[in-house]
Structure 1
């Protein structure tokens, strides 16, 4: 039999044996720290995340980058374009130290500068439209899943209607008839606002269905029953008990929804109903390059590559974030 542990004078409890032996105590880790450790092991997802940060910084610092490495995006350099063929005179689309990605046919605008400024439009519309979808989808999904009954039926049938809606056709029709001025906005600002509203408002059912399903599972958990038994009101349960446990699926789906919105905006610009020229957009540049791809393919390569790499980076980061927050989903 071991000798009873004697307490020091003035102490009320015994120290753990590991402390007495000089061993280091094991520190607890939060769910966020555990998820970060898992994410750090996924080098591909981490690379995608760093590239996403690079894109955001590039869009925010577009004037500075263009001032150092390029030329104004709407400045013509027709002296660099063949007068007869209307294509750049230099090889590889006119690429040089002064024009890193070459120049456009006909007018000779700097492709590098227009790619940089085009990232502002794509990321702005994608982020704000995703934010709108997440807010609407989260609110309605939580309400439908928690209350159930008639409320759930109405919201769920609304989701079905929105999911069956021909969004692309509606967007083309609505954006194509946008007036020159409305709601205190005009020009590009009005078109950007309308595109954000269309993409964000009509995409909320996708995240709404996910949040509804998660809420149906969470509302039967012990911590929700405990909150009810202690007299917690419904707003408290929704905001303090359910919403914190929905952060993970919200973040994951938002990172996967952003590239979809980037592609949708590029598609609208490619069809000529998005942000109008001379404002630089990746989809608009692809549309202009479509008629030159046979004799000047470099004009199509750069905007297409920008869209491809951006969407790929968001998808890789979103997949890695999903695995880090919910390893059972692998």
Structure 2
């Protein structure tokens, strides 16, 4: 009688099965985001820009000169001061660019342009971030309320959105700054102007994000988990905070990253028109990239326009690349 042999491997030599590791939604999104090289490059650039804004005094101390230090005996004022030696770099003729002045000098008073661009990042990003925060808070709240409750509430809020979207914001900003007193609300000077810009940009831009949040809320309120919460006796505020807001974080975060560059451009436009932060001669420099471009337009100096313009261009491009990559990572279905 034939005997059956056991061909299976001994128990001691068997390799234990590896447990399947679960991954959170955040980890999956991070994995997708890491694969997008353009988005990662934009994110790294954004981090470097924030680092530059926060540590502006340290960076200027290493690579530049105090932003309000005049160098009237340098290259740019050679014609007026008797033919001193000039520094040329590429097509920036008579710019004063050298190892001591990386971006050259201003044409009027010889201030270090590198220092002003670095300090300009501090003011421009501060206004853009805080204005975006105001827009996100107001827009998210109004959008959730309109989408969840519907009816007359939705009608009134939607009408307010249309009113704000039709408002001539640029003309209002120019008119408001024109009648601005020297002191108000305990603020004065550039502090008052910065607060006013944050209010104007943030308060009047909330309808854009409110429309997106409202549309998402209209979809979420018909989902099964919301019906389950209602069946268990949950009320509106609990459902909004505990059930809906966690599902709205992704679209709000994505739109916020895309709204920041828009606010940077709007602040630059206001400063270019002369209704933004004003330049200071003494003390902390009240300078933005838009203000530098405004001064450059009056002087028609190539390098004076180039470096602030490139700072705005790189910042806006970095935020847009990162925002697009974040959107694709959090919602792969949106990628075509």
Q: TM-score, normalised by structure 2?
A: 0.90
Give the whole-Å Cα distance in 1 for the aligned partners of 2:19 and 2:69: 64
1:238-253, aligned counterparts within 5 Å?
238-253=240-255
CA shift, 1:291, in A, is: 2.9
Structure 2: distance between partners of 1:200 and 1:78: 40
What SS is found at the alignment partner of 1:117?
Answer: helix
Whether 1:307 and 2:295 are equivalent positions in the alignment is no
Q: Is the 8 A contact 2:143 2:214 kept in 1?
A: yes
Q: For the residues of structure 1 that align with 2:77 and 2:211, how far apart are their CA atoms?
A: 55
Superposed, 1:1-330 pairs within 5 Å as 22-80=16-74, 81-84=76-79, 89-91=86-88, 92=92, 93-278=95-280, 279-293=286-300, 296-330=301-335
Give the Cα separation in 1 of the matches to 2:178 and 2:64: 33
- Describe the superposition over 1:1-50 as per-residue Cα deviations: whole angstroms up to 9, x where unpaired: xxxxxxxxxxxxxxxxxxx9611111111111110000000010001001
RMSD between aligned alpha carbons?
Answer: 1.4
In structure 2, C-alpha distance between the alignment counterparts of 1:241 and 1:84, rounded to whole Å: 69
Q: Report the Cα offset of residue 183 of structure 1.
A: 0.4
User: Equivalents in 2 of 1:23, 1:175: separation in Å?
Assistant: 69
**Offset, 1:89:** 2.9
* TM-superposed deviation, 1:84: 3.2
SS state at 2:65 partner? coil
How many angstroms apart in 1 are the aligned matches of 2:146 and 2:108?
55
Q: Tell me, which stretches of 5 or more residues in structure 2 are unaligned?
A: 1-13, 281-285
What is the CA–CA distance in structure 2 between the aligned matches of 1:227 and 1:21, rounded to whole Å?
A: 45
When the two structures are superposed, what TM-score results if normalisation uses the length of structure 1?
0.91
Q: Partner residue of 2:8?
A: none
Aligned partners of 1:175 and 1:195 also within 8 Å: no
Residue 8 (structure 1) aligns with: none
Retained in 2: the 8 A contact 1:82–1:89? no
TM-superposed CA distance for 1:292, in Å, is 2.9
CA-to-aligned-CA distance 1:82-103 (integer Å, 9 cap, x gap):
3535899322311111111110
Contact 1:122 1:281 in 2 (8 A): yes
Contact 2:78 2:86 in 1 (8 A): no
